[in-house]
């Protein structure tokens, strides 16, 4: 992508109506556009980041045997009435709408009921739910939640992209085994997107579903949650269940727990037969006895995860994208001296060579900007590697190479550059 052809532009001034770092930097960089409180559009580079996060999550879901589907956002009230969740008193974040015939529909905030309803058409016998393997189904879908507090940019949206997986089991033993594996899967996701070193699995309340659940919390001064972290084990406890009983049950020492603020970036919890019982998702065993299917739920807000990365990894100059989810691997800048066409020619040659070698590159070929303006934009946009072609670099026999988190660059030859970049392409 040539930056001169990118329809988005960077902004020097922070948006006046944003208080969160993630929204400020993403809007200034042209990654997102704000429609209204809690509602954002994803522009070309923002969508690239979101898709890369999605692909990482998809790979991890598929690796554990997940089957991807796509479900409708429109939700049938009758299903939710059976589980007691249609009433606004039960679920306070519904968006509801009416068809022209005055029948009411919901806009999807969660999909347990519709998926259980689908599976009731396919599962009736133990032969449909093998004891030796779990059934896990997931989707990436826009969710709608009528949040009262939408002040945290894409961390807490009224419309957001979410991965929700639901698992289905014949026995508690099968569920426990799968649930334990999912803990490791989630840890691997956060490691791959670049925040694994500051993300902890936190013991939390299971709400109406079970006594306890697990959240994944990323340490951040701006986080809404308070957790108590045991840094040696990587285990944390959410403030809502922080007591001696829980501390002792986890084998932790209270004096070694460190209080931290954190952002919740995912959760997993046991549903038992809460939905299968209400919607008659069951199977008969070899003896003809009927059993309710047991369930688990595993959620990650992808847009929230993207916002968290910006919130915790950015610096005073701008965004710092991990290589795994950066829109481009390389940001190539050309610094022309007067009308010296040779510099632009060399930069274009390098740009074409990078593309030929399957290296993702954003080429700042814009004219009329100073070196300082281009450097400031490169820092704001946060690509992992900055390359500069200038009169000085050509004189020194190469290209200036600098990682985003390094203070100074170095001159490197075109050959050595390709050797360096190719393994990550």
- What is the predicted pLDDT for the residue at 209? 65
327-339, pLDDT tens digit by residue?
A: 999 999 999 876 6
**pLDDT tens per residue across span 91-139:** 999 999 999 999 999 999 999 999 999 999 999 999 998 765 689 999 9
Domains parsed from the chain with CATH numbers:
3-313 (3.30.930.10), 330-424 (3.40.50.800)
Residue-level pLDDT at 131: 61
Mean pLDDT for 220-233 is: 94
Q: What is the pTM of this model?
A: 0.95
Q: Mean pLDDT over residues 397-425, rounded?
A: 89
Confidence of residue 208 (pLDDT cuts 50, 70, 90): low
DSSP 250-293: TT--GGG-EEEEEEEEEEEEEEETHHHHHTT-EEE-TTS-EEEP
Which pLDDT value is given to residue 425? 40
- Coil, strand or helix at 80: helix
Q: What integer is the mean pLDDT of 210-235?
A: 93
Separation of alpha carbons 261 and 223, rounded Å: 5
Distance CA 153, CA 27 (A): 10
Checking if the pLDDT of 419 tops 50, the result is yes
> CA-to-CA distance for 111 and 143, rounded, in angstroms?
9
pLDDT per residue as tens digits for the range 242-258: 999 999 999 999 999 99
Q: Model confidence at 270, in pLDDT bands (50, 70, 90)?
A: very high
């Amino acid at each position: 992508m040539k930056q001169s052809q990118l329809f988005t532009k960077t902004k020097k001034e922070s948006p006046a109506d944003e208080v969160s770092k993630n929204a400020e930097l993403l809007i200034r960089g042209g990654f997102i556009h704000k429609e209204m409180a809690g509602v954002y559009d994803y522009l070309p580079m923002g969508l690239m980041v979101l898709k890369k996060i999605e692909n990482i999550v998809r790979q991890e879901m598929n690796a554990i045997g997940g089957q991807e589907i796509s479900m409708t956002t429109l939700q049938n009230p009758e299903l939710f009435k059976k589980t007691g969740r249609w009433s606004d008193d039960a679920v306070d974040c519904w968006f509801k709408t009416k068809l022209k015939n005055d029948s009411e529909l919901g806009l999807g905030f969660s999909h347990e009921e519709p998926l259980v309803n689908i599976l009731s058409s396919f599962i009736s016998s133990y032969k449909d739910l093998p004891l030796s393997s779990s059934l896990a189904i997931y989707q990436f879908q826009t969710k709608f939640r009528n949040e009262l507090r939408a002040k945290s940019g894409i961390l807490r949206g009224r419309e957001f992209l979410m991965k929700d997986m639901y698992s289905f089991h014949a026995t508690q033993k099968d569920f426990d085994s799968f649930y334990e594996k999912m803990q490791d899967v989630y840890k691997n996701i956060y490691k791959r997107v670049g925040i694994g070193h500051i993300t902890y699995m936190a013991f939390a309340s299971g709400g109406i579903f079970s006594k306890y659940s697990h959240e994944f919390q990323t340490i951040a001064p701006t986080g809404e949650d308070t957790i108590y972290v045991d840094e040696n084990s990587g285990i944390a406890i959410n403030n809502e269940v922080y007591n001696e009983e829980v501390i002792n049950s986890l084998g932790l020492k209270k004096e070694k727990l460190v209080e931290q603020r954190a952002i919740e970036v995912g959760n997993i919890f046991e549903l038992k037969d809460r939905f299968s019982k209400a919607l008659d998702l069951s199977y008969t065993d070899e003896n003809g006895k009927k059993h309710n299917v047991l369930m688990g739920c595993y959620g990650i807000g992808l847009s929230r995860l993207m916002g968290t990365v910006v919130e915790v990894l950015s610096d005073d100059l701008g965004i710092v994208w991990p290589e795994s989810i950066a829109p481009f691997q390389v940001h190539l800048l050309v610094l022309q001296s007067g009308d010296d066409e040779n510099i632009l020619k060399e930069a274009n040659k390098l740009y074409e060579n990078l593309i030929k070698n399957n290296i993702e590159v954003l080429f700042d070929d814009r004219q009329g900007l100073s070196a300082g303006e281009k450097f400031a934009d490169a820092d704001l946009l946060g690509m992992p590697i900055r390359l500069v072609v200038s009169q000085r670099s050509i004189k020194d026999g190469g290209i200036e190479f600098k990682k985003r988190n390094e203070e100074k660059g170095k001159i490197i030859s075109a050959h050595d550059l390709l050797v360096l970049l190719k393994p990550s392409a």
